[in-house]
Structure 1
Amino acid sequence: MTGLGWIAAIIVGGIAGWLAEKFMKGDHGLLLNIFMGIVGAMLLNAILLFIFGFTLGGWIGQLVVGFIGACLLIAAIRAMRGRS
């Protein structure tokens, strides 16, 4: 499995995080968007590899995975904040 590289991961992570922020109606900064996009993509890639044995590749595939992962992270953060 080949990765995108650091620069591409930051770009795709930022776009994925920004799209997730808009979709989930959040209010985050640029750095948090990039962080959520990258971490969301890493987590969802790990889940996809563990359960299904594959993940989506390329810029578009990682954008989709990052978007879904970032949405899941936003939902998890909101759920944790709601409990406290």
Structure 2
Amino acid sequence: MGILIWLIVGGICGWLASIIMRTDAQQGIFLNVVVGIVGALLAGFIISPLIGVGTINEGISIATFLVSLAGAVVLLAIVNLFRRGSVR
């Protein structure tokens, strides 16, 4: 059940992050899910301990969803920085 939640939340977070960063036309469904999952993983390790919010593994809430979304946006910003030379 945990993998299914990661896929669903990762897909939604990756899709929203790609819309925020304006890379939605360049990515497909698969990359949106990958960006969302990796972003949530990074946010779980870096952002969650700093602000004291749990991760998606501990339960889905607005705070955990926003942390995962922030991680996906940061990940896309880093990728854009290396690929294009600007965050956008």
Does TM-score exceed 0.5, indicating one fold?
Answer: yes
Q: Is residue 55 of structure 1 aligned with residue 53 of structure 2?
A: yes
Select the residue among 15, 36, 59 that pairs with 1:18. Answer: 15
Question: Unpaired segments of 5 or more residues in structure 2?
Answer: none
Backbone CA RMSD of aligned residues: 1.9
Q: Which stretch has the larger CA shift, 6-15 or 65-74? A: 65-74
Match of 2:78 among 65, 76, 84: 76
| % identical equivalent positions | 35
Specify every segment of 5 or more residues in structure 1 that has no aligned partner in the other structure, as ranges: none
Cα gap change, 1:51 to 1:59, in 2 (>3 Å): closer
TM-score norm. by structure 1 comes to 0.79
Query: SS of the counterpart of 1:59?
Result: coil
CA distance in 1, matches of 2:36, 2:49: 20
Give TM-score, length-normalised by structure 2.
0.76
Q: Deviations over 1:5-47 (max 9, x none)?
A: 1001100000000111111111211111111111101111101
Aligned length: 79
